[in-house]
C-alpha cells in the first residue's frame, strides 16, 4: 500500500510539474486554458474554476493542458494559441520539458544537501554508511549457487563485519577454497548464505564470481549541493541521450533492441525498491524519472512536445502555417502509436520474471 501511495505521488508530481510549465507560460502569453488534466480522457471527474476545468481522467499515462486554439482555430483571437508568434508557441511547448529539468536539478541538489548515495573511493573517508553491494553475478559461480542476487549488500563474512572493499579482499585471501558464511542484506532484511571462495576462479571472474561496488552517503554544503544538482542533471541527460542513440542505432542495424525498457509496471517495481532503500534513494530516483520525462517529451515524435515544435520549425521554413487538419491527424496517429507502445512495454514488464535494474555506475571491483 505504501509503495502504491508513493507511486501515485511520484507520477502525480512529475505530471503536475510538466503540465504546470505549459499552463503558466500559456497564461502569461495571454492564452485561455480550457482544461488541466491528469491522465487522458475519458474524464472521470472535473471541477471548473474560472475559465479552466481541472480534471482526472481514465487513462493514467500522463496529463495535458488544453489551450484554446492549439488545434489551429481562432487564429484572429488574441486568447488563442494559434494567434501567437512561432517563438511564443515554441516557448509554451518547451516549458514543460524545462520544468522537469528544473525539478531534477532541485531534487538532485536537495539530495546532495541531505545526503545521496554515491560510488565512493575504497577508503570511503568522506562518506558515511559505507556499503558493499553486489553489482553483477557470473553464471555457474559460487554466488549464483548460493542464491545471491544483484543489489545484495554484504554485511559480514564468517562473523567479520564488512566495512569496505579492503575487508572483502582480506577475507577472500584468508578463506580461499573454504566454505564461508555470508550475512547479506536484501530489501532491508538480513539473512545468511553459505558460499565457497574458489582458490582458482575462471579467467575474468573472482573467487566468489561477483562484481562489487562500494557506495556511501555523501553530503554537500548548500552552494556545492546546487552545483552537484546541475552536474548530475547534465550527466543523466547526456547519458539518456546516448542510450537513445544506441537504441536507434541497434534498431536500424539489427532490427531489434536488446536494451530493456521499463513501462508503468517496471517503474512501480523500481519505485518499491527505492522506497525500501530510503528517502535519499527515492529522491534520486524521482530526479532521474523527471529527466527521462523531459527527454521523452522533447523527442520529435508526433503528439509529443518535440513533435509539435518540429511542426513549428516546418512552419517557420515554409513561411506559412501547416493545415491544422493535417497536423492534428499526424498528432492523433502519433498518440495512438504511443498508447500501443506503452501497452506493449507494460505487457513485457508483466511477463518478465525478474525485476528491472538500471544504473550508471563506475569504480567496479572484481572478487
Q: Is 187 left (phi over 0), alpha (psi -120 to 50) or beta?
A: left
Locate 41 and state its grid cell: 480522457
How far apart, in whole angstroms, are the C-alpha atoms of residue 242 and residue 193?
A: 38
Q: Which is catalytic among the residues 19, 35, 70, 327? A: 19
| Residue 87 neighbours by CB under 8 Å, 6+ apart | none
Q: How far apart are CA 89 and CA 81, in angstroms?
A: 7
CB 208 within 8 A of CB 141: yes
Q: What is d(CA 160, CA 342) in angstroms, rounded to the nearest whole number?
A: 47
243 Cβ contact list (under 8 Å, min separation 6): 259
Angle, CA of 12, 84 and 79, to the nearest 5°: 75
The residue ranges of DSSP E strands in 138-170, in sequence order, are 153-157, 160-161
Strand partners, 67: 33
- Please tell me the chain's helix, strand, coil percentages from 3-state DSSP, rounded to the nearest 5: 50, 20, 30
| Active-site residue flag, 19 | yes
The SS3 assignment for 187 reads coil
Q: In 10 A of CB 97, how many CB atoms?
A: 22
What distance in Å separates the CA atoms of residue 72 and residue 205, rounded to the nearest whole number? 62
Catalytic residues, which ones?
Answer: 19
Amino acid at each position: 500500500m505504501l509503495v502504491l501511495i508513493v507511486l501515485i505521488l511520484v507520477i502525480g508530481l512529475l505530471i503536475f510539474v510538466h503540465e504546470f510549465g505549459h499552463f503558466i507560460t500559456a497564461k502569461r502569453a495571454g492564452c485561455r486554458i480550457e482544461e488541466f488534466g491528469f491522465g487522458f480522457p475519458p474524464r472521470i471527474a472535473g471541477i471548473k474554476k474560472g475559465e479552466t476545468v481541472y480534471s482526472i481522467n481514465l487513462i493514467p499515462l500522463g496529463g495535458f493542458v488544453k489551450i484554446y486554439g492549439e488545434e489551429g482555430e481562432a487564429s484572429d483571437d488574441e486568447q488563442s494559441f494559434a494567434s501567437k508568434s512561432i517563438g511564443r508557441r515554441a516557448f509554451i511547448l518547451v516549458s514543460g520539458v524545462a520544468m522537469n529539468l528544473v525539478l531534477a536539478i532541485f531534487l538532485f541538489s536537495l539530495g546532495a544537501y541531505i545526503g545521496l548515495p554515491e560510488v565512493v573511493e575504497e577508503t570511503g573517508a568522506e562518506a558515511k554508511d559505507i556499503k558493499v553491494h553486489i553489482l553483477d553475478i557470473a553464471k555457474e559461480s559460487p554466488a549464483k549457487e548460493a542464491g545471491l542476487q544483484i543489489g545484495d549488500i554484504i554485511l559480514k563474512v564468517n562473523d567479520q563485519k564488512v566495512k569496505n572493499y579492503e575487508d572483502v579482499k582480506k577475507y577472500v585471501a584468508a578463506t580461499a577454497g573454504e566454505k564461508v558464511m555470508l550475512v547479506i542484506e536484501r530489501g532491508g532484511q538480513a539473512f545468511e548464505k553459505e558460499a565457497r571462495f574458489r582458490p582458482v576462479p575462471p579467467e575474468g571472474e573472482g573467487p566468489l564470481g561477483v562484481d562489487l561496488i562500494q557506495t556511501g552517503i555523501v553530503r554537500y554544503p548548500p552552494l556545492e549541493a546546487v552545483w552537484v544538482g546541475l552536474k548530475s542533471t547534465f550527466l543523466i541527460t547526456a547519458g539518456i541521450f546516448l542510450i537513445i542513440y544506441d537504441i536507434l542505432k541497434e534498431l536500424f542495424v539489427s532490427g531489434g533492441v536488446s536494451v530493456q525498457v521499463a513501462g508503468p509496471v517496471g517503474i512501480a517495481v523500481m519505485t518499491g525498491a527505492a522506497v525500501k532503500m530510503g528517502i535519499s534513494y527515492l529522491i534520486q530516483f524521482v530526479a532521474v524519472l523527471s529527466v527521462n520525462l523531459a527527454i521523452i517529451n522533447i523527442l520529435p515524435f508526433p503528439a509529443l512536445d518535440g513533435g509539435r515544435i518540429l511542426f513549428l520549425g516546418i512552419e517557420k521554413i515554409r513561411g506559412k502555417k501547416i493545415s491544422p487538419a493535417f497536423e492534428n491527424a499526424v498528432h492523433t496517429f502519433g498518440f495512438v502509436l504511443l498508447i500501443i507502445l506503452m501497452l506493449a512495454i507494460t505487457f513485457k514488464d508483466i511477463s518478465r520474471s525478474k525485476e528491472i535494474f538500471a544504473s550508471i555506475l563506475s569504480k567496479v571491483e572484481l572478487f
